[in-house]
Every structure is written in C-alpha cells, then in structure tokens.
Amino acid sequence: MSTSGHHSSRSPLTSSNGTAVKALVPTNNVTTQEGLTVRARIDPTLTVDDVVKQLCVNLKIKEPPSHYALRDETDELVTNDNLRKKIKNKINLKLVNAPAREARETAEKLSNPNEKNIKLTLFSLQKYIREEQFAHEFLNHQGLADLVDIINSTTGNTLAYALTAMQNLMELDYGWANLDNNFILRVVQILSSSQSLINVCRPATAILKKLVEADPMSAPGPVTASSSRSPPTAPPGSVYRYGFQVVYEQMRKERGLLETVVNRLGSADTAMAQYSLPRLTHSMMLINSLLSHVTDARWEEFISDLERLNVRKAVVRLMSLHTVEDLTSCILDFQANIVRVTYRKKTTVVNPDIPTHNEALKSIWDCSKLEEETDPSGQPLRWRKLGFESEDVVQEFNEVGVLGLWCLKKFVESDPDFSKVVLEQLSRSEERRCPIAKASNEVVELLSEHWAIFAPGCTCPLWWQVYLQTELLLDSTSTTFQPFFLDFYKVHALATHFFLRMWSESGAASGDFTRVVALVRSQVKVALRSENVRPWHEVEHDFTNCEYRAVRDRQMKELELEDDILSKVPVRNLRAKLYKESFEFVRQQRVQCLLQGAWFVNALPQSSPREAARRPSRPWRFMRLDTGLKYLHYVDSAIKFPVRNGLEDLPERIDVSMISEIATGTCAPPPNVLRDQNDLPPVSTPALSPLSFSLLSAHEGSLADQIAPDQSRWADWTDGLNMLRRDGGHVASKETAGFVHALTEIGLKIKLLDLSGEQVEIPSGLVAGPPPTNTDFFFSDLI
C-alpha cells in the first residue's frame, strides 16, 4: 500500500510478512481525524489491522495502531469481510478511533452529560452500539446505566436518540439483563403519551416488544415438549428473563397504553399513512407480540381489553388503505393471532361460576324477557325455551365453548326485537319451533369450519397459517386479508338471522334441522367468497335478501358435484394431516431453490424510482442461501456469468435474521436492463414490477430490492424466504398455496380410493370407549 497527500510517502508499504504490494490496485481516499486526506493504494490481500498499522506508520502517528480503525463515509466499520469490496469500489475511508476506544470515550461523555454535545454523542452511539467490540467495551464501562439515566430524564430528539441506542443494544443477546421495572414503566409512560414524537414512539415500541419476547420460553436452545405450561427459569445473566407477565404488570400501572397504541392504528388515513407508517408498523408489531406471548394468568383480561378497544376494527380499516404495503405482514400475523384467540375461546368451557360467563348468560336471558317456568315433571324450564335441548348450559356450549356464548350474547344484544323473535317461536307448536340457541351454536360451527378454526393447538405453526388462507388465496389475485373474519360476531349475527329465515320460509320442523344447516353452510360459502375484495354491504345483501328457493336450487347443484364423504369429520382431519405433510414437502422444495441460487435484477425501490437515470454499472445480482440457512450470499455483476457451487464467488452476504418482512411489488426495473439498450429510450417514471420484492429490516430499511426473472422464481424466493423467518412469516403467492393444495387433494383421493374400493363405511365421528382399567398396556407402532 502506498499513500500520497500532504504527508506523502513515496516508499511503498508492505504487508506484515514483508512482501511487496502489487502495483495495479485501486486508489482510495483516506481522511484522518485532523481532516487530512491522503490517497492510498491498498492491497486487498492485507488485513484491516495491517492496513491501519501501515497508515499509522506513513502518517507518523505515534499512538498504537490498535487505537485506530477504518470506517467508510456512512460510518460503517471496515472489517476483513468487507475490505475487499470497499477497495474495489474506491470507497472513501476515514481513520478513526477503534470501536473499543470510541466506546470508552462515549461512556465517559454519558457519565458527564453536557447539553451541547449529548445529542451528538447519542447520535453516534445509536450507530456504533450494534458493533460487538464497541458494545462489549461500552457495557464494561457502565454505559448502560448512564444511558438508562438519560432515558429517564430527557425528552424530544435527545430521548429519541437514546431510545434508538437502547433498541439497537437490545438486538444483542447479552448486556441488558438488569433493566428493572422502573425502566419498563418509563418506556410504557413514553408510549402512553399522545404527545410523543414519531421518532420517540418507534424505538420505545420496539424496546417494549423486545422485552415481551425476551421470556424464558424464547431462550435459544433445544425445545422439548412438556406437559407443564410453567416457563423455565432464566439462568443468571440471561436477557431472557422478562416476557409478557413482567411487561404487562407495568402496563397495568399506565392504563392508557393500549388505548394510545390502538388509537394510533385507528387514526391512520390515506393522506397520513405514509408519514406515520413506521409508527403504525411498530404498533402492530407490539400488539402481535403481546398476543403471541400472553400468559394464561392474564389471557382473559388482556383479550377483553383488546376487544373493548375494538382493535379488530382498527386493523380492518388499515386493510382498506392503499399505501400500507409494509404493513401486510403485520396484518397477516394479526389475523393468525386472532385465529389462535378464536380457537382458544371455542375450546374454553363455559362455567357459570365465572363472573363474566354468568354475566353473559344473565344478559341472554334478560334480553329474552321470558319468565322461568317448570315442565310437567317439575324441572326448570328456562334454556329450553330459547332452543337448547336441556337446561345444562355447560353441556349445550360444549362444542363451541366461550366463543359460542359470546356469539349468542352479541346476537341477542344486537337485535332490539329479540324478545319478539323468541315469543314468535314459542307461539308455534313445539315441532315447528326453530331452536334459536342451538341454531346460534351451529352457525358458530359453520363459520369455524369456513375459516378453519379447528387447529390442533394454539401454537399456530406456519403450515397451519397457510392452511387457513389457502382457499382464500386461490381465489385472490392480490392479498390474503380477511376483514370478515375479524368481524366474526357480526357475520355470526347475519348468518343466524339467515338461519331463522330459512327455517320459516322452508316450513321446517324439528327433523329438518340438518337440512337447514346445509342451506346455511352453502350460503356462508357464497356470502363470504372473495373476502379480501368484496365490500361489506354485499355480504349483508347475500344474507338478508337471498330467497329460500334460490339457495335450495344452488345447494342441490352443489350436492351433485360434491361427494358427501368429503364433509365427514375423519376425512377433514385426514386432509389437515396431509396438508401438513404437503406443506413441509413444498417448504423443503422452496428452501432447495434458495440453496441453488438464482440471478435477479437489482431494482429501484418505490421511494426513489428516479435515482438511476441510466443503466447501472452492476444491474445483476446472484443470490444463494448458505447450507446453515443463516445468510444470503450474493455478488453484483455487470453481466450474468456461470457461478460455481459453494460461496467462493459470492463475497457479500445478508443476515437472514435481520429480515423482518418480504414486501412484494415494491420496485421498478432500472432503465434498459431487461431489454436492449438501443431500443426505446428509458421512461421517466418506471412502473413497479409485479415480480419485484424487497427484503426489509426493522431498523435499516431495505436490505435488498430485486426483480425475479419469472413468476415461478418469484414465488420460490418470496415464499421460501418467508418460511425461513424467525417469526414464522406468511405465504403470499398463489403458486405455493396451489402446489400445497394440489398435493393435499391428490394424497386425499389416493387414501380414499383405498377405502371406497373396499366399500368401507366412514363414520361421521368416533366414539371413545371406556378408559383402561389399569396401566398394563402399551401402544404398538402402526405400520
């Protein structure tokens, strides 16, 4: 390496082993701390330590070279991994304090804050704290305690910088295990204030989210099945010692937090959505984290708070905005969480001894305005008047649980004429009465079937999320939003009224209950079709104006096309099992595509489509996932070239764990890349490509903006990358959903051929026999 400038040295620098540096190497400008700029020819085969050492020798710096490091113009630390790239691209460099030295000075400045320089110190801290060398030294010099003190005592932009520094520190899995309840309460208070700036709310929300997710159950290490739901104890010094319970206790002291967070979702509009998008995204992410980590002890209280604040309505409103592409993942994750909530309600037994359950039962009875009587045998006659088959409400709600109870409560409270409806049914002969309560429960079952609310557990793995979305996705061309599902109670009320109307119009009797259920099932499929694009008034019209004869004729045609065998519970369970296997097969195929790698076009993000007025020098990028599934390695090139197996040809990489979202349809192709340069002139505002996608980070914006060569490659990579995400992600392409669906149906038909060919009768349900009389048995392996 050689340098030239005010302190020019014509003697070439050599590497540490004494070998001369190659002659033809790029030249970089290096600026010293004193503002002196020198031109340096740096041998890319040297280490960063060697480069710094030789710069210090040439510039006659007396302090040890270990006190110094190199950074580029954006303050990114130059390391052995990126040195070659920066030399090749002739990036301007700066000779600065080494991270450890910078950390010591920063900690010292924070311990003696000066109003004039504290903002500048915190501004630098929020960038440097992500570097491991800096972080270690900063923590060793009690920098965290000083940072907490500043967060507790400042406001405005100073507070924003301090919170962002804390947020970036918490990306490490060490060093912040001693944050106490007072600090958590301070963050809660910051978020609760409606006056907080956006740049304050964003890091504060991210900090609270991180604390919620830092529970012992989330600690790295092997996950073992356990019958106990009690979390393990975090080892000393582990940051995985917080979790929902710790954070929620502080949230309860500041009751306005949830209201403020939900209000921020509800206050978004088309004009302001882009401006407030970071705050919206982080608010959604916090709500999702709370929903995913809520403990059993606080589950009912927390869910009740969210229902009271009508968070579902706020999310449905976000779905209607046209500028929230970055919120797609958050909304889909929220939907998956609400599936878990709905399933848990459905499997929670109604207990009249629980005050909220007893209150709901009392409200239902009061709305009927009936008097309790006794039957001829002297037994109470109360719930049978409303359409139950017995007076045992626990047993009557056994299949639909608390979900059925809340649905019936909402139904009777939303209809001011409910008491008249009940009296009208009671005026009929017992044979001709529509069992209202039983019909309500049956509608809950139909809607649960339509939206696949029969998950085998509450963990809601990725394959199950896809299963919930498949039918909708196959009918959709854009998105998988489910606004009607988020309005479950309202849809239930419409469908229950439809049930009562079909009962009357068809002249049904008690033996026709199953026939009316079939009519309602058919109408549910029609009314809730294309959920993501249909307006609500069309759903209301389908339920309130469709005549019995039209529904019956359509249902008869459906029966001609659909074998009754497919609707039986064992077959549905078999389909769910095969779906899981098919999903895992397609997932492995998608991951294999990522491991093989592919060429993409480097695209222009939507925010800056005019940045490149000419063809870029390196418009092509080859990306490949490493076998450890942790990094996306890539190389940018002016032309496509044969890439060897392995990672030798791919010097750059992206940490997969940094990817928080894969946004689609966000980029435009650079001018003249996908066609001959001599063809038409480039357009001034290139259109967004449907084959584009962006790898977004929660903190650093877009990590990559690419355009796939075809639809198949786009589906492979967008869904494949989503399947690698730590939070499970979601599947957004019709191709992936279609493959999984097709494999499932083929597998199901093959299985059913074995049964139907032997004329085997498939029961509608299985009755469990009596339990074993002793434990002297074992389960044999099925072959």
CATH number at residue 620: 2.30.29.30
Statement: residue 232 has pLDDT above 70? no
pLDDT of the residue at 504 = 92
**Do residue 536 and residue 589 come from a single domain?**
no
Q: What is the DSSP letter of 596?
A: H
373-374 and 631-637 beta bridge pairing: unpaired
Give burial (CB, 10 Å; 0-12/13-18/19+) of 127.
Answer: middle
Statement: residue 466 has pLDDT above 70? no
Q: How far apart are CA 42 and CA 15, in angstroms?
A: 10
Q: Given 97, 132, 160, which residue is the final one in a domain?
A: 97
**Do residue 419 and residue 475 come from a single domain?**
yes
Nearest to residue 41, comparing CAs of 60, 64, 82, 13? 13
Packing angle of the helix pair 256-266, 299-308 (nearest 10 deg): 40
Statement: residue 457 has pLDDT above 60? no
In a domain, 504, yes or no: yes
Q: Given 528, 562, 596, which residue is the final one in a domain?
A: 562
pLDDT of the residue at 727 = 54
Q: For the chain, how are helix, strand and coil distributed in percent, rounded to 5?
A: 50, 10, 40
CATH number at residue 65: 3.10.20.90
pLDDT of the residue at 42 = 86
Statement: residue 21 has pLDDT above 70? no
Q: What is the DSSP letter of 767?
A: -
**SS3 sequence of 336-385:** HHHHHHHHHHHCCCCCCCCHHHHHHHHHHHHHHCCCCEECCCCCEECHHH
Element (H, E) at 541: helix 536-545
- Helix count (H) and strand count (E) of the chain? 29, 16
Q: Kindly give, in sequence order, each residue whose CB lies less than 8 Å from that of residue 420, ignoring residues fewer than 6 positions away.
A: none
- What is the secondary structure of 111-173 as a DSSP string? HS--TTTHHHHHHHHHHHTTSHHHHHHHHHTTHHHHHHHHHHH--HHHHHHHHHHHHHHTTSS
**Do residue 553 and residue 585 come from a single domain?**
no
Q: What is the mean pLDDT of residues 137-157?
A: 93
Statement: residue 608 has pLDDT above 70? no
User: Hey, which of 230-239, 279-288, 744-753 has the most confident mean pLDDT?
Assistant: 279-288
Query: What are the angstrom distances between the C-alpha of 39 and each of 12, 412, 539, 702?
Result: 13, 81, 70, 32
CB neighbours of residue 685 within 10 Å = 7
Q: Provide the CB-side half-sphere exposure for 243 (13 A, CA).
A: 19
Q: What is the mean pLDDT of residues 354-383?
A: 89
**Do residue 442 and residue 587 come from a single domain?**
no
The distance from CA 489 to its chain's CA centroid, rounded to whole angstroms, is 24
pLDDT tens for each residue of 55-104: 898 888 889 999 999 999 888 899 888 888 888 888 899 999 999 999 99
**Do residue 590 and residue 716 come from a single domain?**
yes
Q: Kindly give, in sequence order, each residue whose CB lies less than 8 Å from that of residue 434, ignoring residues fewer than 6 positions away.
A: 387, 425, 499, 500, 503, 504, 508
Three-state secondary structure call for residue 207: helix
**Do residue 658 and residue 630 come from a single domain?**
yes
The distance from CA 217 to its chain's CA centroid, rounded to whole angstroms, is 19
Q: Kindly give, in sequence order, each residue whose CB lies less than 8 Å from that of residue 324, ignoring residues fewer than 6 positions away.
A: 268, 273, 277, 280, 318, 331
In a domain, 227, yes or no: no
In a domain, 712, yes or no: yes
In a domain, 676, yes or no: no
Between 712 and 320, where is the model more confident? Answer: 712
pLDDT tens for each residue of 425-443: 999 998 999 999 999 999 9
Nearest to residue 477, comparing CAs of 729, 680, 690, 638? 690
**Do residue 411 and residue 462 come from a single domain?**
yes
CB neighbours of residue 692 within 10 Å = 25
Amino acid letter at 249? E
Statement: residue 14 has pLDDT above 60? no
pLDDT of the residue at 541 = 93
Statement: residue 156 has pLDDT above 50? yes
pLDDT tens for each residue of 697-738: 876 778 889 999 988 899 889 888 887 765 555 565 677 777
Give me 288's structure tokens: 């999702």
Q: How far apart are CA 253 and CA 267, in angstroms?
A: 24
Three-state secondary structure call for residue 559: helix
Nearest to residue 713, comparing CAs of 723, 721, 724? 721
**Do residue 628 and residue 550 come from a single domain?**
no
- What is the secondary structure of 12-63 as a DSSP string? PPB-TT-PBPPSS--EEEEE-TTS-EEEEE--TTS-HHHHHHHHHHHTT--S
pLDDT of the residue at 761 = 53
pLDDT of the residue at 392 = 93
In a domain, 328, yes or no: no
Residue 546 contacts residue 506 (beta carbons within 8 Å): no
Q: Given 501, 536, 562, which residue is the final one in a domain?
A: 562
Residue 380 contacts residue 374 (beta carbons within 8 Å): yes
* 598-602 sheet: strands from edge to edge: 652-655, 631-637, 620-625, 598-602, 701-707, 692-697, 659-664
Question: With pLDDT > 70 as the criterion, what percentage of the chain qualifies?
Answer: 80
Answer positive or negative: Cα dihedral of 642, 646, 650, 651.
Answer: negative
**Do residue 547 and residue 585 come from a single domain?**
no
Q: How far apart are CA 631 and CA 243, in angstroms?
A: 28
**624 phi and psi, to 5 degrees?**
-150, 135
**Do residue 382 and residue 478 come from a single domain?**
yes
Statement: residue 231 has pLDDT above 70? no
Statement: residue 631 has pLDDT above 50? yes
pLDDT of the residue at 99 = 93
Burial 320-356 (b: 16+ CB within 10 A, else e): ebeebbbbbbbbbbbbbbbbbbbbbbbbbebeeeeee
User: Hey, which of 208-217, 256-265, 765-774 has the most confident mean pLDDT?
Assistant: 208-217
Three-state secondary structure call for residue 653: strand
Nearest to residue 410, comparing CAs of 446, 440, 447? 440
Element (H, E) at 456: none
Question: With pLDDT > 90 as the criterion, what percentage of the chain qualifies?
Answer: 40
Residue 347 contacts residue 404 (beta carbons within 8 Å): no
Q: How far apart are CA 168 and CA 147, in angstroms?
A: 12
Q: Provide the CB-side half-sphere exposure for 592 (13 A, CA).
A: 6
CB neighbours of residue 439 within 10 Å = 25
Q: Kindly give, in sequence order, each residue whose CB lies less than 8 Å from that of residue 391, ignoring residues fewer than 6 positions away.
A: 379, 380, 381, 382, 383, 384
CB neighbours of residue 271 within 10 Å = 8
Among 9-13, 319-323, 488-492, 635-639, the minimum mean pLDDT is found in 9-13
The count of structural domains within the chain is 3
Task: Return the bridge partners of 636, or none.
Answer: 621
Answer positive or negative: Cα dihedral of 376, 378, 379, 380.
Answer: positive
In a domain, 477, yes or no: yes
In a domain, 152, yes or no: no
Q: How far apart are CA 254 and CA 248, in angstroms?
A: 10
CB neighbours of residue 473 within 10 Å = 22
Query: What are the angstrom distances between the C-alpha of 7 and each of 3, 10, 56, 60, 134?
Result: 8, 10, 11, 9, 30
Query: What are the angstrom distances between the C-alpha of 373 and each of 363, 378, 382, 419?
Result: 18, 9, 7, 16
- What is the secondary structure of 228-287 as a DSSP string? --SPPPPPTT-S----HHHHHHHHTTSTHHHHHHHHHHHT--TTTHHHHHHHHHHHHHHH
Q: How far apart are CA 360 and CA 406, in angstroms?
A: 7
pLDDT of the residue at 610 = 47
In a domain, 434, yes or no: yes
pLDDT tens for each residue of 654-699: 888 888 778 888 788 887 665 443 333 444 556 788 888 888 887 6
**Do residue 386 and residue 535 come from a single domain?**
yes
Query: What are the angstrom distances between the C-alpha of 741 and each of 351, 449, 573, 580, 722?
Result: 39, 17, 15, 10, 18
Between 589 and 492, where is the model more confident? Answer: 492
Give burial (CB, 10 Å; 0-12/13-18/19+) of 195.
Answer: exposed
Residue 748 contacts residue 578 (beta carbons within 8 Å): yes
The domain in which residue 18 lies consists of: 2-97
Q: What is the DSSP letter of 453?
A: -
Q: In the chain, what is the greatest distance between 2 CA atoms, to the nearest angstrom?
A: 114
pLDDT of the residue at 719 = 85
pLDDT tens for each residue of 560-596: 665 556 666 677 778 778 888 888 888 888 889 999 9
**Do residue 86 and residue 9 come from a single domain?**
yes
23 confidence band (pLDDT: 50, 70, 90): very low
pLDDT of the residue at 1 = 59
Between 521 and 748, where is the model more confident? Answer: 521
Statement: residue 8 has pLDDT above 50? no
The distance from CA 314 to its chain's CA centroid, rounded to whole angstroms, is 17
Among 39-43, 298-302, 469-473, the minimum mean pLDDT is found in 469-473
